[in-house]
Amino acid sequence: MTSRQTAGTNRRDGLVVTLACTAQFVDVIGVTLLIVALPAIQHDLALSAAMLSWVAGSYALVFGGFLVPGGWVADLLGRRAVFIGGSLLVAAGSVVCALAGSGGVLLAGRVLQGLGAAVAVPAALAMVLATLPPGPRRSRALGLWTMAGAAGGAFGFVLGGVVTQLVGWRWLFAAIGLVELLAAVVTPLIVGPVARRVTRLDVPGALLAITAVVALVWALNEGLGRPAAWAGLIVAIAAGLLFALVERRAAVPMVPPRVWRLPSFRLGAGVAAVLTATTSGANVIGTLFAQDVLGLSGAVSGACFLLFSAGVVVSSTLAPGALRRISARPAMTIGLAVIAASMTVQALGVSGESLWVFLAGLTLSGLGLGLASVASTAQGTAEATEETSGLLGGLLNAAAQIGTAIGIAVLLAAPGGQTTAYLVAAGLAVLATAVCACPSPVRVTR
């Protein structure tokens, strides 16, 4: 290959990574974008408290519930086609939200957005994995992917408040719709078509997977002290068991049994769940501490968490270099150890009501998360093939969403208050660190 051809290939690969990371940023930002704008939305549409709760949580519920089927569909129908379809769904849902005149219409738009994001995100990751073979360039791309997700989750609070105050909450959706539409238009220009793999769909498996994840996330969000939440938990367990049974007998299973036998994937997905369980749950507790105990305003407390995002950005940028020197497993171990330390520091800040100690722990948490997230994605997708890249991406993202729901539910219910909640998170991170530090015959190098 000539130098000109190599340069052209590198440029096209860079465009694919940019496109995928943009989708990751926009789709993740949808989880937090409305939180600051909720009071204005409630006032403008005269929403009840119950409807406001559904509007706030519906996106994350649908997004998490459909990630696994979304990744599976990307492998079946082709990652390019599914990414375009998902982007158009998000754009359509955004238009519905921007024009909504009632809570019901807004809720329908949020569901459409969540569904589109659930298929677009794993398809985007599959495009990156298919474009870049294992090695330093893929590690750098995964670092950018992690950074885009962290930035989207954090900047949603800031952008949501600024845009709502300046021009109104409807423009939040208009901007998302425009970005998603542009992504759908440019994708055929930089991503080549992929042939469909099979035509037979595992519909029972898909329905059971959706039911299990949605019921679990809903039950955890409701709070395990309520009878309805326990009913949701029972439904989630039953659907999960039926899913396992159906997949063993399906001619073309949505999740082939060999996927569960991949040690690299199991470890990567487990770490992804622990990372979000500790950091997302702790950040909810931290928000309550900043506002209820320290008396900070919503805007100021939100700005404090930019330190967390800055830590993620810095460490995820440096992570590819670390993965070139050590394997993914030691990198996850180090990141988890840093998170365990950060939770302990934040516990000290909360118990002493010290903002500066709390901020130091928050920054440390972001540094550990960025490194461990890049490493867990590299670990979980190390054995991805042309047929499973989308599915593995969906499973890893679903593990992270489930971890978020579990972490928030457990830490909010922790006896002994906010200090105890941080210590529980630290204990979970220590346990995960010990598991990662144990010798294993599986070594994934970068």
pLDDT tens digit string along 350-359? 999 999 999 9
Residue 4 predicted with pLDDT over 60: no
Single pTM value for the model = 0.79
Q: What is the pLDDT of residue 443?
A: 44
For domain 261-446, which architecture applies?
A: Up-down Bundle (1.20)
Residue 99 binned pLDDT confidence (cut-offs 50, 70, 90) = very high
Residue 441 predicted with pLDDT over 60: no
C-alpha span between 77 and 356 (Å, rounded):
51
Q: What is the pLDDT of residue 446?
A: 42
The superfamily in CATH containing domain 1-199 is: MFS general substrate transporter like domains (1.20.1250.20)
The residue written with tokens 């997700």 in the block is 149
pLDDT tens digit string along 348-402? 999 999 999 999 999 999 999 989 988 888 888 888 776 777 778 788 888 887 8
Residue 3 predicted with pLDDT over 60: no
Q: What is the pLDDT of residue 333?
A: 94
pLDDT tens digit string along 159-216? 776 777 778 888 888 988 999 999 999 988 888 776 665 556 677 888 888 888 888 8
Q: What is the pLDDT of residue 2?
A: 54
